[in-house]
Structure 1
Amino acid sequence: MKVAILAGSNRRESASTKLVRYAGSRLIAWGHDAEVFDLRERVLPLYDPDTDSEPEEAKALAKLVAESDAVVLASPEYHGTISGVLKNALDYLGAEHFDGKAVLSVSAAGGAVGVSSLTHLQAIVRNLHGVNCPDWISVGGDQRRFGPDGSPLDERMRLRVENVLGNFIRLASVLAAANRVRV
């Protein structure tokens, strides 16, 4: 299974980015191909629908998502919604990149949990014709601490990530098989 992971934060020590890097390492340990596209490191210019030229990083993003069987979208929660950099990246993509693919939403918030950003992500995924994983991962407060190896320090959070990733991969496998036989 090939999984594209979009880390949608501009913060150097972003909890959402740390979380999806950890998730990607777990997927790789399980034998899957997981690639993190970090929007802090791979900056996309503001989306302009009137331009004829597509930036190289946008082409790389579109290729990664198009060639993936499933997608993970991660964002901090800013003012009750997703980050601007993640929304901008998603504006470069369309239904042809997400159609029929499993999508897992992940968020980190300074407060308890990032439910508003996750709800907004799921609405965006539906509009891109992706299939939302019924689970999501949200971290807040002390759950946003990570060890030197990148794993969450909170044992319950590590177990939550493992369980959600398992459900996500099962859904992605079913959808990928169905998409291969779709007419």
Structure 2
Amino acid sequence: MKIVIIAGSNRRISSSTAMARYVGDRLALSGHRVELWDMHLQPLPFYDPDADVQTEAVARLSDLVAASDAIVLATPEYHGSVSGVLKNALDYLDGDHFSGKMVLCVSSAGGAVGVSSLQHLQAIVRNVHGVNCPEWISIGGDQRRFDETGEPFQPSVKARVDRVLNTFVKLAGLLRS
């Protein structure tokens, strides 16, 4: 299965991007083709619905998401919502990119959990006709620590990620068939 992950942080060192990379590594180990779009390394211009020409970066992201079988959206939680750079990227995409595809939402928050950002992401996914995974990944506080290999320090976080990814992949496969 081809899975695109959009890491929606603009930070150089971001726990939501670290989680996105870890999720990508776990999915790749299971035999899936994974492409990570890191908003810090691959920024997009501000969305302009009146623009006549798409930039190369926007066209590439659009093509990646359109060709994917499933999507992972990862965000830090800023002021109770998704990051601006992720929302900006999602504004370039629509139902042609998401319709009928399983979408997993991932959040990293400075507090205990990032539930508000996950709820906002799920509302966006519904509005572009994607299918929200009934599970999500939210890390906060001490759960946001990763070792030098990119793995979460806490075994409970690793176990949760594996459990969520099993559900995500299973449901994404059912939607594909």
Bin of the TM-score, shorter chain as denominator length: over 0.9
Shift of 1:84: 0.2
Query: What do residues 141-170 of structure 1 show as CA deviations (whole Å, max 9, x unaligned)?
Result: 000000111010010000000000010000
State how far apart, in whole Å, the 2-side matches of 1:51 and 1:133 are: 33
State how far apart, in whole Å, the 2-side matches of 1:11 and 1:41 are: 9
State how far apart, in whole Å, the 2-side matches of 1:97 and 1:126 are: 12
State how far apart, in whole Å, the 2-side matches of 1:110 and 1:19 are: 14
State how far apart, in whole Å, the 1-side matches of 2:58 and 2:136 are: 26
Shift of 1:12: 1.1
Counterparts of residues 3-152 of structure 1 (less than 5 Å) = 3-152=3-152
Shift of 1:76: 0.2
Unaligned 5+ runs, structure 2: none
Q: Which amino acid aligns with 1:122?
A: Q
Q: Secondary structure in 2 aligned to 1:79?
A: coil
Q: Which amino acid aligns with 2:4?
A: A
Which residue number corresponds to residue 160 of structure 1? 160
State how far apart, in whole Å, the 2-side matches of 1:90 and 1:174 are: 25
Q: Which amino acid aligns with 1:96?
A: D
Which residue number corresponds to residue 174 of structure 1? 174
Identical residues among aligned pairs (%):
60
Unaligned 5+ runs, structure 1: 178-183
Normalized against structure 1, the TM-score is what?
Answer: 0.96
Query: What do residues 117-144 of structure 1 show as CA deviations (whole Å, max 9, x unaligned)?
Result: 0000000000000000000000000000
Q: Secondary structure in 2 aligned to 1:123?
A: helix
State how far apart, in whole Å, the 2-side matches of 1:33 and 1:149 are: 20
Normalized against structure 2, the TM-score is what?
Answer: 0.99
Q: Secondary structure in 1 aligned to 2:40?
A: coil
Instruction: Report the aligned-residue RMSD.
Output: 0.4
Query: What do residues 1-20 of structure 1 show as CA deviations (whole Å, max 9, x unaligned)?
Result: 00000000011110000001
- Runs of 4+ aligned structure 1 residues displaced above 3 Å come to none
Q: Which amino acid aligns with 2:45?
A: P
State how far apart, in whole Å, the 1-side matches of 2:92 and 2:56 are: 12
Query: What do residues 34-62 of structure 1 show as CA deviations (whole Å, max 9, x unaligned)?
Result: 11000110010000000100011000100
